[in-house]
């Protein structure tokens, strides 16, 4: 195994793991587990294959396995923790940052979006890494981009409603003229 081949892919692996896991410590563990598995399974990699895609496939499969095992093994008694749990702050006016919006995407959509947009993989390579048909990759990417756009624009929605609540205070002819204009942006967002 040539160490330099793997070293050139480490920044991309770390970036993908960080965005996939949402936590720097978990991401570092995921990268380390990926590299350990790559060393153990090195004989399975074909020298004529794409090393980058193979490493990302290993990482993605490890991430899914970790998610499955974590979901199975975690049981908490909420009654015993009720005093230590704090209610989330109602901060609807604060804008959500990109990373928090990414974490709100379904894992399947987030993985496709990260590989194509952040890691600049082709649709075919992404399909190979995630073991999906090409059409599914394109569909999930489209849904992920659309949902991410909605999440990023969500904080601006209260200001739009406050502007539309001021419209009924105006005279009736002006309110009628404002109604079609207010509906037009909603139609554009649906496309």
Which of 52, 26, 62, 33 is closest to 126 using CA atoms?
52
Strands (E), the chain: none
What is the Cα–Cα distance from 37 to 46, expressed in whole angstroms?
A: 15
pLDDT at 7: 86
Question: pLDDT of 138-190, one tens digit each?
Answer: 999 999 999 988 888 875 544 444 444 444 444 444 444 444 444 333 333 33
Better-scored residue on pLDDT, 111 or 47: 111
Mean pLDDT of 105-134: 92
Q: Is the pTM of this model over 0.85?
A: no
What is the Cα–Cα distance from 62 to 135, expressed in whole angstroms?
A: 24
Query: pLDDT confidence of 65, banded at 50, 70, 90?
Result: confident
Three-class SS of residue 9? Answer: coil
Q: Which residues contact 185 (CB under 8 A, 6 or more apart)?
A: 160
């Amino acid at each position: 195994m040539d160490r330099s081949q793997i070293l050139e892919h480490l920044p991309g692996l770390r970036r993908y793991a960080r965005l996939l896991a949402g936590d720097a410590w978990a991401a570092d563990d995921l990268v380390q587990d990926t590299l350990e598995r790559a060393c153990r399974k090195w004989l399975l990699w074909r020298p004529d294959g794409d090393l980058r895609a193979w490493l990302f496939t290993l990482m993605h499969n490890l991430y899914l396995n970790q998610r499955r095992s974590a979901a199975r093994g975690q049981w908490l008694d909420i009654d015993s923790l009720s005093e230590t749990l704090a209610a989330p702050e109602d901060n609807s006016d604060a804008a959500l940052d990109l990373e928090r919006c990414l974490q709100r995407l379904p894992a399947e959509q987030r993985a496709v979006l990260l590989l194509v947009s952040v890691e600049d993989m082709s649709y075919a390579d992404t399909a190979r890494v995630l073991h999906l048909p090409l059409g599914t990759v394109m569909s999930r990417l489209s849904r992920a981009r659309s949902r991410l756009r909605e999440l990023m624009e969500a904080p601006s929605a209260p200001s739009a409603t406050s502007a539309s609540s001021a419209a009924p205070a105006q005279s009736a002819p002006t309110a009628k003229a404002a109604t079609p204009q207010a509906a037009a942006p909603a139609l554009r967002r649906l496309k």
